[in-house]
Structure 1
């Protein structure tokens, strides 16, 4: 894999830390601003909404922009938004900074996903996506738990400052490793924007985007509210939240790495095996969460299955959107973040039910069940060969 791909992954690490870090900070943020944990959880949805809106919009605007300054600008805006969030005493302003940061993240990821696919041969999109998303999974292993520890020790605002500082080496990596101009493939033979947008009328593309959104909704719906499961259901100290997040992150790294080697040529088995296991895992976690050992094991397994299945489906989005070379990354980003926006909202709605803090886990199981009910009858369509996808 080319070096610029790993430099892009470094920036994704910084942004992934921000996207996931609220899972360990929600109780402190809620207390600081005098809102409920469910209301604070909407900050995750705010970030995802910004990603949904920003990905296609910014990708369309950036089609003719030079790659390096475009990526650099997104990283700088992202850092400034976090500095503003760390300084504010207003929850609405904090909400707004999350949206701005998300717009910057969306623009960066949409361009980076398209760039990553263009840096490798046509049959290696899955591996390139795995390298890029490894920045996110490493964030869940190191960045997010580190942020939770930092938040516990110095307050949640310190974590926001840390993310802003983390953007500096990412910006340096972009300056040093990404070409200043646009690649040859981008400069010539590029379809018109209308033609690329017309790809969204293809049922196969919409199908895999929907499935990716449902699986990601299940992932974020539970991940956002893991902290109260650890402290209330399992009865563990707050510092154990970081341990649980590390386990989820380690699992996600294993899952996305395995999927990166399989999703190009063997996506069918990943979906057929991983989907039912993921469906079983969420209710199992809800039933066994009061047992710390079971909690630790299942969190790791669910992280692996969620990211293996989710990244495989997002790879299918890139293949199905082969006719939209500059917009495919934004379609994949939008699919990811429709789920990331809906999941915490669904999870928050269950907190007031009899299920309590375990409600999001049951809701995640339901979301995966819906995805499987849609996917299984259309399995052959979802896993169609690359040649067939390109021709269609």
Structure 2
């Protein structure tokens, strides 16, 4: 199974984006970013259809992009209307669908709307994982329970939401106001239990397709980049939009083109739940250090980073004007560097 990065239209462009033209735009975005995947979300079965989906998958593959498809888990404990429905809840239906998925080249599924933690539902999770593995399909769960060690059991398990995730930034002003607070908690609580498919890194100033008014993002670009490192999931559905290629800071787009999703080592650097969090993660021989500030005043930190001692590093940060700032700094030979994180902001430091 190949882990990686993905685009998905639904998070910002919502249900109305579930059409051929908008999905082509997001395939092209994935291609431009060098991302491995696109997630085509709910309602594709009616709005695009199975036959056209086969054509769309071929188009994605021509751009070196593979496809995840969304499914409703359904069953007697789930009456959510979004389709495809009743394809995952019985063995016969599931295997028939997965055979088609394998044949047309789909690489993974996002299965949504699970009805509680009762035994029957817990069995459904593992039945889906087991059958999908037989067909070479990766699985992400959404609207779901906390993962319980599935990474160690099923090689095709690549994430669970199980958190107040990015979609609630679209739907709730209260969640937007507390975005930095929650981000300072996840590295200590939710993401320590298992991988967390948050679906974040939003670079639109307003969290809708028009990006002119409405749900204003209250955190900075530096904060958003930091969450891409702080939140761990082997397949990350990032919330970038096609317009970000031209209206987001070029340094942010360049960073997001190179961002990894798997880590060989993670080191706690500093933090306190609900105030701020700083982690260092290593992918191969490259270190990323990221932090966020949930407070109302700047957090000034003297960080100890012996793994980067004496090296020049790129620092993505901002000042009071909230504009993303990229600077080259040198960490001293003892591994010390001073970082100031503005309120509702963050930073990333990498070699």
The alignment's TM-score, normalised by the length of structure 2, stands at: 0.30
Higher-helix-fraction structure = 1
Higher relative contact order (CA 8 A, sep 6+): 1
Higher-strand-fraction structure = 2
